[in-house]
Amino acid sequence: MRLTINFSLKKGRARVNGKAPIYVRLTMNGQRVELSSNIFVIPEKWDENGQQHKGQNDASMVINNTLDKIQLEFLDIYNQFKSFGDEFDVNAIKSKYLNEDDGKYVGILFVFDYYLNSMAEKLHRGYAMETYKHYKSSRKRICNFIKFKFKTKDYPLGKIDYKFLDEFDVYLKTKFEVHQNTAWNYHKHFRRVLNLAISLRHIDKNPYGNYKVPLVTTHREYLTSEELERIENKSIEMDRVRLVRDIFVFACYTGLSYSDIHKLNGTHLQKGNDDKDWIVIDRNKTNTRCRIPLLPKAKEILNAYENYPATVYSGKLLPVLTNQKLNSYLKEIGDMCNINKDISMHMARHTFATSITLSNGVPIETVSKMLGHTSLKTTQIYAKILDEKVAEDMEELKIKLELKEKKK
């Protein structure tokens, strides 16, 4: 099955100005279709054998380059169809070229790339780099699934159904052993790309209408006030480990994520209406503006590194290492402080929400604004965590009181 592409001049359809249209002829498996290229030339300037416009001037080059692009586009469509592994004919190729197909011959990855390209053009103007990276990761997972399951480079949108989505879910959980909520994120991105396919009129409805992916309530680990105090007061001799400890403590008293602390510079330190120091920063993840009053402990850490060589050179407020290195050292610090928790930079954000703010009576609406949450529901998770802790403490108290009563 081979596609042949030829260009021919239709002299019988010449216009009043004498120019005739160039037509594209597609031939495959004995079938043939023709369509106009929307290019008109003077017949004497057309080379029928070479299938190009005569001459070396700019006008000839533009026409010939356009014809080359048309030929490449048809070949791309042909190769895309071949990768699907389904039967197709020249009429399907023509329909795809004219955007008249119904989604049967439009690939998932084709639309996903359209989405990513659009997102890339809007970076920092509606989309954050972290979001873009997450979508690229989802695209990679879907691409790998298609290669694994169907042995093709792409898969038609029109063939996506409940079975496809369920097999993709199984693939994520067996091949990569992802958590349910991680799988939910991949599905969320895929669902949005399919919504785009509807907007582009490639498909009529989203297959996710029948396929639901639940979110599982997770326990967000945080440090208690006593555990945080243990880390703060720990005497650490190694400069690098002490630096990691200080950055972590700073995060605990500001609620900033690693990526936001990494970009923190002098412009983010501003005077508030109370004439005190505030951190004003747009979150990398959501581009939401956060306004955080600088607590004494956080200010103390900034002052300690004000003249640190790395901060002076970079213009940043703190000499931040890579997230991987920080988390590696934090595990070591946890062992040093006898804290049996998997300490990470993200735990600092949870600690700020729970032990630093909510536990000390800061209203949940205020905490939500400082964390840069786009929904109060996200912040309410921390309030539930505290309720669970209160319930656990009260249960322990109940047991102690019962033991005392039995002793009497």
Condensed to tens digits (0 to 9), the pLDDT of residues 181-191 reads: 999 999 999 99
Q: How confident is the model at residue 279 (pLDDT cuts 50, 70, 90)?
A: very high
Whether the pLDDT of residue 226 is over 80: the answer is yes
Residues 6+ apart with CB under 8 A from 392: none
Domains of the chain: 4-97 (no CATH), 108-209 (1.10.150.130), 225-393 (1.10.443.10)
For residue 101, name the pLDDT band (cuts at 50, 70, 90): low
pLDDT of residue 287: 74
Residue 91 has pLDDT above 90, yes or no: no
Average pLDDT over residues 224-241: 94
Kindly report the average pLDDT of the chain as a whole number. 89
pLDDT tens-digit map of 111-130? 999 999 999 998 877 787 88
pLDDT of residue 158: 84
Q: Does residue 255 have a pLDDT over 90?
A: yes
pTM for the whole thing?
Answer: 0.60
Phi, psi of 156 (to 5 degrees): -65, 135
CA distance 92 to 84: 13
Residue by residue, what is the 3-state secondary structure of 75-140? HHHHHHHHHHCCCCCHHHHHHHHCCCCCCCCCEHHHHHHHHHHHHHHCECCCECHHHHHHHHHHHH
Residue with tokens 């581009």: 287
d(CA 343, CA 328): 9
Confidence of residue 403 (pLDDT cuts 50, 70, 90): confident
| 351, pLDDT greater than 90 | yes
